[in-house]
Amino acid sequence: MTPALEPLRRIAAYAVATDDDGRVLLVRASSRSGTPGVWSLPGGAVDHGEDPNHTVVRETAAETGLSVAVTGLRDVLADMRSLPHRGVTIHTDRLIYTVSIRGGNLVDRVGHPTDLARWHTIEEASRLKLRTFAAAALGLDTSAGDLRPEIAPDFPSFYAYPGPDGLHRAQRFAAYAIATDPHDNLLMTRIAPGYPGAGRWHLPGGGTDYGEQPGTALIRELVEETGQEGRLIELLGVASHRDAASLGPEGYPIDWHGVRAFYRVVVDKPTEVVIKDVGGSTSEALWMPLAQVAALSEDEVTEITAEALRKAQLI
Any idea of the CA torsion for 61, 64, 68, 72, to the nearest 10 degrees?
-110
132 and 47 share a domain?
Answer: yes
Cβ pair 25, 17 in contact under 8 A: yes
User: Is pLDDT of 263 > 50?
Assistant: yes
Tens of pLDDT, residue by residue over 47-62, are 999 999 999 999 999 9
Pair 30, 86 in one domain: yes
Whether residue 304 is found in the same domain as residue 204: yes
Is the model's pLDDT at 145 over the cut of 80? no
Q: Are residues 266 and 202 in the same domain?
A: yes
Domain count, the chain: 2
Residue 233 pLDDT = 97
> Is residue 42 one of the residues assigned to a domain?
yes
Q: Give percent of the chain above pLDDT 90.
A: 84
The answer to whether residue 4 scores a pLDDT higher than 90 is no
What average pLDDT does the segment 144-157 reach? 85
Q: Is 65 left (phi over 0), alpha (psi -120 to 50) or beta?
A: left
**For position 272, which CATH number holds?**
3.90.79.10
- Pairwise CA distance, residues 215 & 177, whole Å: 10
Label residues 130-149 b or e (16+ Cβ within 10 Å = b): bbbbbbbbbebebeeebebb
Confidence at residue 279, expressed as pLDDT on a 0 to 100 scale:
76
pLDDT band, residue 160 (cuts 50/70/90) = very high
- Within this chain, do residues 247 and 289 fall inside the same structural domain, yes or no? yes
Dihedral of alpha carbons 95, 96, 97, 101, sign? positive
Within-domain flag for 153 = no
The pLDDT confidence band at residue 110, using thresholds 50, 70 and 90, is: confident
- My answer on whether 23 and 67 are in the same domain is yes
Whether residue 298 sits in one domain with residue 184: yes
Comparing 143 with 202, the larger pLDDT belongs to 202
Based on the domain organization, do 178 and 304 belong to the same domain?
yes
The verdict on residue 162 lying in a domain is: no
Does a structural domain hold residue 160?
A: no
- Look at residue 143 in the predicted model and tell me its pLDDT: 82
Domain region containing 201? 167-311
Rounded to an integer, the average pLDDT of 270-278 is: 88
* Domain end (from 137, 159, 177): 137
**215 and 276 assigned to the same domain:** yes
- Is 189's pLDDT higher than 50? yes
Domain membership of residue 202 (yes or no) is yes
Q: What is the pLDDT of residue 2?
A: 42
Q: Would residue 152 count as lying in a domain?
A: no
Picking from 31-40, 43-52, 296-305, which range would have the lowest pLDDT averaged per residue?
Answer: 31-40
Per the CB < 8 A criterion, the answer to whether 260 and 73 are in contact is no
Does residue 149 form part of some domain?
no
Closest CA to 219 of 210, 228, 269: 228
- The pLDDT of 62-90, averaged and rounded, is 94
Domain presence at residue 25: yes
246 and 200 within one domain: yes
Q: Are residues 119 and 188 in the same domain?
A: no
Average pLDDT, the chain: 94
pLDDT value of position 1: 39
96/179 same-domain check:
no
Mean of pLDDT values over 19-27: 97
Q: Are 171 and 275 in contact (CB under 8 A)?
A: no
